[in-house]
A and B are shown apart, each in its own frame.
Chain A
């Protein structure tokens, strides 16, 4: 009986240990980390380094101060970096290895020994990397955003390979077509940093002048992203000419002109109406004399023309002045 009880206890203890180890392994699996396996030959140092890339302009800059972590690659090629101390926002990082007897801070660009690749990560990232025999160029990454980054890198590598294998004309065609494809990825990608990475890899500087609207729309799309990466990119894009304000200014000018014209017209009409009213107050004889005054004729000439006496003419002229509210012949002549 006692033996049976002891056996049960042992089974229970083993079961607890099994459950505990299982829970621990699950907890380890969900630890925030960048981990994976990379197959290296003996020419490489079995260490791997993680560098922070603060701006796209620093992608091809190597400095010891940029390296934020280093870890060993074990005999199975496994390595891992903890990501819990990384910023909570997505940032660009570079993972690199170095040759045996070379400095840890070494950057190899191009050729079969290219020793680095880029990825986007944050403090909550859980990224798995699978290296193949093709070296650092051919790693695959399991999270969605970094799959896009790898796809972009693959296209860029293809463009470079045509420089190596094909004629200049074909290389230029391929570069143009595939850079356009990378820009489409940038346009449709839902991750801001991967999208910006695509634009940087598409040699956007040579495309800005032909496609400025695309770049303004791109900046509008990600206007809420105020990271250094976007601020740096924004500085490279010429500012949009303020077409809205220009339209607004033209609109306001038209409205002001319209109202100015309206009021001027109204004021002029009012003046004409007043004059017409005043002229209507003149008698038939006075109107005839008024028209002769307008022709610049003297009292004597008016007297001769109208067969009336000079004193009568003077009397009419005086009445005309009084009705039209003028004081001299000059004012009569100036009247329109």
Chain B
């Protein structure tokens, strides 16, 4: 009898743990872009925000040794959510070639949104002769 009680209690405990995990889950999406040579292009990074997503944090950290980098975050309605730009014009291209880099410029943005608009969000990354790196991190919580 005691064994059955312990057994039932264990089952209930297990089910409640499973259910609590099933109610809310989160996942991270990390991506790095390295620009080892002067890079001039536009990249669009899509983020599919589903209806059950309750909370989303986007963090973009970047640093450049040379050139210009612009980051624009668009929501699924194609509206600009936030943006920033970093420029490093103090380092000359010759300095870069000879590995004589004096300065780096860094830019970081953190955007936390509750109940984000479902659909395709977009992070637009525009580089102009940029050398450096960008790291995207998105943490998404869903029901």
A94-131 contacts to B, CB under 8 A, are 102-103, 105-111
- CB-CB < 8 A to A60: which residues of B? 82-85
Q: How far is the CA of A63 from the CA of B128 in the complex (A)?
A: 14
Report the interface size class on chain B.
20 to 34
Name the residue of chain A whose CB is nearest to the CB of B82.
Answer: A109
Q: How far is the CA of A318 from the CA of B113 in the complex (A)?
A: 104
What number of A residues sit within 8 Å (CB to CB) of B? 24
B143 at interface by CB-CB < 8 Å: no
B43 to chain A, nearest CB (A): 19
Is B114's CB under 8 angstroms from A165's CB?
A: yes
Given contacts A102-B106, A106-B106, A107-B107, contact A168 B86 (CB under 8 A): no
Q: Which of A62, A163, A166, A171 meets B107, CB within 8 Å?
A: A62
- CB-CB < 8 A to B106: which residues of A? 62, 102-103, 105-107
B61-83 contacts to A, CB under 8 A, are 63, 79, 82-83
A206 at interface by CB-CB < 8 Å: yes
Q: How far is the CA of A311 from the CA of B125 in the complex (A)?
A: 107
Q: Select the residue from B82, B84, B108 with max chain A CB neighbours within 10 A.
A: B108
Is A166's CB under 8 angstroms from B83's CB?
A: no
A64 to chain B, nearest CB (A): 5
**Looking at chain A's contact residues, is the secondary structure mostly helix, strand, loop, or mixed?**
mixed
Listed stretches B6-14, B16-24, B87-95, B134-142; interface member: B87-95
Is A62's CB under 8 angstroms from B85's CB?
A: yes
- CB-CB < 8 A to A166: which residues of B? 114-115
Given contacts A63-B105, A103-B63, A107-B107, contact A163 B84 (CB under 8 A): no
Is A171's CB under 8 angstroms from B63's CB?
A: no
Is B89's CB under 8 angstroms from A64's CB?
A: yes
Interface string of A193-226 (1 = CB under 8 A from B): 0000000000000100000000000000000000
Q: Select the residue from B89, B90, B106, B109 with max chain A CB neighbours within 10 A.
A: B106
Is A109's CB under 8 angstroms from B103's CB?
A: no
Name the residue of chain A whose CB is nearest to the CB of B59.
Answer: A111
A-B contacts besides A64-B105, A105-B105, A106-B105, 5 pairs, CB < 8 Å: A63-B87, A63-B88, A102-B106, A109-B109, A167-B115
Sample of 13 A–B contacts (CB below 8 Å): A60-B82, A62-B86, A64-B90, A65-B89, A103-B104, A103-B105, A109-B109, A109-B110, A111-B110, A164-B112, A164-B113, A165-B114, A167-B114
* In the A-B complex, the 5 residue pairs with the closest CB atoms: A111-B110, A63-B87, A110-B110, A106-B106, A168-B115
